[in-house]
Amino acid sequence: MNVTFCCTDTKAEPWLAGLRMAMPHASVSEWQPGAPPADHAVVWAPPQQFLDEQTRLKGLFNIGAGVDALLKLRLPPHAKVVRLDDAGMSVQMAEYVCHAVIRHFREFDGYEADVAHGKWSYRKPRMRADFPIGVMGLGVLGERVARALHQFDFPVHGWSRSSKAIDGVVSHTGAAQFDSFLASCRVLVNLLPLTPDTRDILNHRTLSRLRPGGYVINVARGAHLVDDDLLALLDSGHLAGATLDVFRTEPLPAAHPFWTHPLITVTPHTSARTLREESIAQIAGKMLALERGEPIAGLVDPVRGY
């Protein structure tokens, strides 16, 4: 079995060493233009030239959970696109979202500002019942986030394309229940895959349907959010704040208003990072299963986009 590695802005050698250790009988190498055909590829943002040359690929294994950038390219005709199921990302995402929610709910951001000015302050405790949280997208990451939020006794709602049964989470399904889902929420967490249907889904109309004083947490893709609509709703007072980890242009341009807006917390796309050892173990296991003709999890439907 020949495996090629083509991951933009990723140091190849640790991945190559790990893949060789996990699959000692495979030939593993970093792709170079004109390289011989491979059976499978480990990729992140590969150039179109790579895909045009590697026409015999049986599997394209993406080292991130999101495959929207990969699906924009012309793919080899018979290659299966495979995403990571978890590989240590879901617990990171749950940590990040719970931190953002609790920081806002407990008003720790306000305390931090007061302390910076030498002010000893007190805020009346809020009721969790007044802060229902909605999680958009209930895949592997979204389900873990919803379950974690439920552990803190917040009312949790989930919205997804197909119905999901998760203990402690009120499920809303499809376009018919989208507006009622939004109206149920004061905090909105976006974990949707980026597809033509979900691009710009966080816009003035949808965010206006959140309860007054709403809070937005976007940890999916920057193109889900219409930046100017968020700013307008923050400045009008309908939204109380936002935590944003993903942006339309990354790194976030220095002049972008998100950097300095007092109600926005910015982090540099770090909510859930790929963990190399866990990812290698999962990718190697799936490659070997495909070679044996066995079914695997994480296959992407190019039509749906996830």
Catalytic residue IDs: 221, 269
10 Å Cβ neighbour count for 103?
17
Residue 159 · residue 181 · CB < 8 Å:
yes
Q: Side by side, which strands form the sheet with 264-266?
A: 169-173, 156-160, 133-136, 187-190, 214-218, 239-244, 264-266
Query: What are the structure tokens assigned to 28, written together?
Result: 């593993």
Residue 289, classed as helix, strand or coil, is helix
Taking CA atoms, 89 is separated from 47, 123, 156, 270, in Å, by: 25, 34, 21, 11
Query: What are the structure tokens assigned to 263, written together?
Result: 């109600």
Closest to 187 (Cα-Cα) out of 161, 162, 163, 152:
152
According to DSSP, the residues that pair with 133 across neighbouring strands are 156, 187
* Cα 110–chain centre separation: 27
Query: What is the 8-class DSSP label of residue 63?
Result: S
